[in-house]
Chain A
Amino acid sequence: MLDDFIVRAIIAGIGIALVTGPLGCFVVWRRLSFFGDTLAHSALLGVLISITLDINVSLTIFVVASLVAILLLRLERTTNLAGDSLLGLISHSSLAIGLVILGFLSFIRFDVMGVLFGDILSVNSNDLLVIWIGGALILVVLSYIWKPLFASTVNYELAEAEGMKPERVNAIFTILLAALIAISIKMIGILLITGLLIIPTAMARNLSDNPRQMVILSIIGGLLSVLIGLYASFEINTSSGPSIVVVALILFILSLMRIRKKNYE
């Protein structure tokens, strides 16, 4: 059954949605959506390096994204630029460098669209293993650091004063984000992965009044987006990444109706 690419795509999508839900909540709470975007853009560089040197794609993306994250944290400390300027700088530079390198690699056949927007047809059973094992690892680590990470999200100093080591868990969280990008690029693409992180979570925010509820709704929103998006993608032959994000957007718009009702109550 795993030979059927539709089944593979669905299994891969479910695996990714289970991880983007909880991670997306932290990205929204900590206002890291542009940060996530920057890590994702560096993935193009990772893909190209992996092709040139013939090493594992996911691993290369993970290493490159982690390095970019460390570079960002360093620059934030040593320069007088605001975080968003640095993010813009790194994000677009890494994308540009990636595209320039691509120009030199004219001897290989390379599907840029697939990397940018996701190519579900290319997901093989090896990728499924990477997604599910990687995803499970991400979730295990996340559940392990959940309490200190959440406390430092609410108030950094309070968490620090009460022994929750926020600096360490923040660094771990960044690495988890890089890992998620590494396992999901093939499916969603580097330009749209942040969409799957943010939009279902934004929908969940509209519908929830406590953090646990928000995480659960965010996972459900992600699963619905992936399943409906993939279905649409097969039926009307659109790219998988954009289809998934459009479904997420529709769910978000639907969730706005509840907010409107709440305000009029």
Chain B
Amino acid sequence: MARARDESSPLFAGNAAGTLRLIIYLALAMVLMVLDQRNGWLWRLRSAASAVVEPVYRLAGLPAASVRTLSVAFADRQHLTSDNQRLREDLLLANAKLNRMAAVAAQNQHLKELLDTQHSLGLNVQLARVIGVDLGAYRYRLTLNMGSRDGVRAGQPVIDAHGVMGQVIEVLPHTAVVMLITDPSHAIPVTIARTGLRTVAYGSRDGDELSLPNLPLAADIRVGDNLLTSGIGGRFPPGFPVGRIDNVAPAATGMFQVALARPAAEIDRSTDVLLLHDQAEPEGPPAPASPAGPSTSSGPAAAASLVSPPGKPSIDSGAPR
């Protein structure tokens, strides 16, 4: 810059912010953004700076937490009593259902054993609290108070009492960030419970609905149909409620039907969520590794275990002869 800074002439402001410096800073910011978009630097930096970032999150979450505490403290007696009554009824109902389910579950387990598969009805979950932090990205993310120290890994499904909420996308030592199923860049494989039709539900732009944009025109789908996870893709386990269809219309192109669904989970009201620990069994498309290796059915087992690469344990080696 040619001009020297002179503090004495405030009327000629702008020498503190020369155009050249602006251009340099803007270029720097753009380079950073491109590099971050390509390499995901931000997250490495964030996990390095987690000692600073996480206390700030807790601090910023304090108002939301204190509002919650205050609302409990000042809730009137009648409200609490009715709440309690409702919860009791729910519990009773749930217990009754569970008792009936227990027999079915035992029978199911028995049949599964007969079929020699390892599906289990038990859930291996971890309870986590939502930290009330606004991450700015059009509110499609949640922050949880558990991180890699608590065994959380990226990709874990997150559910609440009513259905699927999303999946963990980034993990810091003591916090984790969840991408909600309503995020426009999220997609979840679903089936329609009534007909068994498989499709994919995407997040929508307004952030409180799911959209199913490419249903065949002939598909039998109605308002009120329930969506379940299909388990295809191996990320979400099958059978969890995802949402309920509340609008079906032909697409603008006239070649598909478009349906909108309301998420089953209380996406913007849940304060406690469950992290699923066991990932879904890979259903649908076969595991990519198995057909690549030497054929396990034709050759003798000993030869197959010799030829198979050392990194991946051979399927045959553990099987009884």
Do A and B make up one complex? Answer: no
Residues of B within 8 A of A (CB): none
